[in-house]
Structures are given as C-alpha cells and as structure tokens.
Amino acid sequence: MLHSFHSLLRFSSRLAIACIVAGSSLAALAQGSFKVGSVLSMTGPAAFLGEDMKAGMELALDEINSKGGINGKKIEWFFYDAESQTQKGLGATRRLLTQDKVDMIVGGGNMSGMAIAMSQLTEKATMPFVATEGSMQIVTPVAERPFTFKSTVDDDQVMERLADYFAKKKITKIALLSDSSGFGQSAAEQLKKTAASRGLDVVYETFNPTDTDMAPQLGKLKAANVQAIVCWTVTPAGVVAMKQARTLGLGGIPFIHSYGFVDKRYMDLAGDAAKDVLLVSVKFPVGEDLPDSDPAKPRILALNKNFEARFKRRPNQFAAQTYDAMYLAKMALEKGGEDKTKVRDALAGIRNYNGVGGTFNFSATQHSGLSKSDLVLLKYEDGRFRLADYQ
C-alpha cells in the first residue's frame, strides 16, 4: 500500500511537471507569433473580387513566413468570410478584436462601405487597420481615423490623372456614370472638386448596382453631347453600360472605366463592346509593358511568376492590393512590435516603398500611400490588358 502511495506521488509530480512544461510551451507559442486578421467576401455579390484578394494575401503570408516571419516570429492568420454582408463583416471584426486578439487587421471585406463600417470598430479599439478597398472615405478625415490606412489609390488622385488625360486630348465636357454605392458616391464627390479646379464641365448620372438597363441615363448623356464617359462601378452593370453605349451611338467617344473594373471576366463578357474602352488603373495589370526604368516593374514581374506558379492563373490588381497590404503590415509590425500605437506610427512612416501597386508614401496626414503618378490608362486587346497611356 505504501509503495503504491509513493508511486502515485511520483506520477502526480511527473504529471504536474508535464503540465507546467506544456503550459510554458503553449505560452511560448502564443508569444512566438504575430496575429493578423483579415475579412474578405468570398461569397455573395462581392465574391468575384474575394478569390484573388485572398490569394494575394496567402502568397504574401507564405513568402513572409518562409523567410523567418517578422523579427523571428511567424504570422498567425485569422481569416473570415463576410459573405458581402456588412453586419457579418462587423461580426468578424468584433471576433478578431475580442476573441482572436489580433495585432493588426488587413482587408475590409472587399466593399468600401464595409471597410468604412469596420473602421469605426477598429478605431475605437486603437487597432491598426490596412484596408484593401477603394473609397478615400475609408481613411479621411485622417484626424478621425488615425489607425486606418489603405493599400489603394484615392479617388481624388484618379480624377487628377483623368483630368491630365482629358487635357492632353483637349476634352472639356465629360460625363460621370456612377453607381449608387459608397464607391460611386465617393467618385462623384471627388470629381466635383477636380472639375472645379481643372475647368471640366461634367454631367452626372447614377444607376443602381443591380440595374440591367442604362438606356435612360445614356440617352441623356448623348443629348448633352459629352465628349467622354467615365463609368464608376465594380458590378456587372458596367458591362451593360459598355454594350448599350455602343448600341445608342456613343461608341465614337472615349468610354473609361475606373480601376475597380479592371477584370478580364468583365471584358470578356462585354465582347466587342470592350474594344475601344479605356480603364484608369494602377500599373500592375500591364507590368510587362512598363519601361524598364519604372520601379514597380521588377516587383510586378516577380509576383506574376510566383502567383501563376502557385495558383495556375494570372493575378489581377485586386490580388496586388492585398499582397501589398500584407507587406505594409509586415513593415509596420517589424518596427512597432506589439505596441499598436508604434505600429500605427510605423505605417505612417513608410516612404518610397516600391510595391506591386506603385510606390507607397504615407505620412501622419496621408493614409493612402499611392498617387496619380502610379496610375496609367489601359486597353483590352487579344484577351489581356495592355498599356494605353503611360504618363
């Protein structure tokens, strides 16, 4: 009986030691990684963007972790599908903040409205947030969103780039055909400012993202004798607009889509209607066409090669947005560590970073790192995007 008692004591001691060691190992594991959370829409209306955006994140994360991670710590990734629903995106954000306790959030559901809503939660939690969506309202005014940044170009810079093109072509009267989403509304707001300073006469027409008939709006633009049409949407309604513009006799003037429409699937759906369409975009989709002197070219070509090797398809600019965002997060975490305010300051301090979307320059008052110099005009020929206007 005494022998059994001593054996039980020895077993209990070994078990206690094992638990302590295991607990220490788990604690070390928890302390040995940086936690990054992401919210994208893989299902629902915005899902067509989500697939490539997630792939861009995965590739960047694998590259970073395979090279030792961040200051010797691997990135632990927490990913949620918002299903194109803002409330589900907000639910995922709350989970990242309170349950997963991430160090940083990258990706705002691939919908500008969702990213704006998410930023209200991340700001309250003083959580660094790198959005991968388009609207400049995501990061402005900066004083109200000091912890929010984005890896896309602001609409005002896009409008300035278009104004340069119109000046070159001696075009003064244009139309903005934008959808009623936050993305489209932001474009209209910024174009009004650009038009006032650049002497552009603009006719504004809107449509719902689910519309299948643009004839009424296009008829008004034809009657107004506009010299160019700028269409602003990321929905299939943009294909309808392209087709009906030609049908209604507007094919003789420039039809320009925004960067949100640079997607091969849309161009293929448009068929012959895509022939003379231009698209304002970051340089990524036409990396091969860029001059060798362009600092973005080597990074673009490398990403194209690595992405195709892994996913067996060419990446688009949406994959580039998330790929850049993860590397921006890496740089910020390298400097800021676990101090969220220092991470925020590190993001604001990034200068002259040559990403695949362009050259990023942030500051305390500028939380979108790209400028109009990172933008070009594209065309679609023989099943691929080609450079149409470089500067």
Q: What is the pLDDT of residues 175-215, one digit of tens each?
A: 999 999 878 888 999 999 999 999 999 999 999 999 999 99
- What tens digit of pLDDT does each residue of 313-358 get? 989 889 999 999 999 999 999 999 999 999 999 999 999 999 999 9
Q: Are strands 359-360 and 353-354 parallel, antiparallel or unpaired?
A: antiparallel
Close Cβ partners of 181 (under 8 Å, ≥ 6 residues apart) = 112, 113, 209, 233, 235
Which has the minimum average pLDDT: 20-24, 116-120, 166-170, 222-226? 20-24
Residue 371 token pair:
């400028």
Q: What is the pLDDT of residue 31?
A: 53
Assigned token pair, 194:
């650009």
In the structure encoding, which two tokens stand for residue 277, read together?
């369409």
What pLDDT is stored for residue 1 in this prediction?
44
Q: Which residue has the tokens 């552009």?
A: 200
CA dihedral 235, 238, 240, 241 (to 10 degrees): 150
Helix (H) or strand (E) holding 62: helix 47-66
pLDDT of residue 32: 86
Strands 384-389 and 375-381: antiparallel
pLDDT in tens, 54-82: 999 999 999 999 999 999 999 999 999 99
Q: How many CB atoms lie within 10 A of CB 222?
A: 16
CA proximity to 206, closest of 173, 182, 171 = 182
Q: What is the pTM of this model?
A: 0.84
What is the pLDDT confidence band of residue 292, given thresholds at 50, 70 and 90?
very high
Tell me what pLDDT residue 21 has.
38
CA dihedral 98→36→155→184, nearest 10 degrees, is -60
DSSP 352-388: SEE-SS-EE---SS--B---GGGEEEEEEETTEEEEE
> Could you tell me which residues are beta bridge partners of residue 35?
76
- 111-116: long-range contacts, CB 8 A cutoff, minimum separation 24: 111/41, 111/46, 111/82, 111/84, 111/86, 112/137, 112/138, 112/181, 112/182, 112/183, 112/186, 113/86, 113/181, 113/182, 113/183, 114/39, 114/41, 114/82, 114/86, 114/89, 114/90, 115/150, 116/182
Phi, psi of 212 (to 5 degrees): -120, 10
- Chain-wide mean pLDDT for the chain? 91
The pLDDT of residue 23: 41
Report d(CA 125, CA 119) in Å as an integer.
10
How many angstroms separate the first and last alpha carbons of the chain? 91
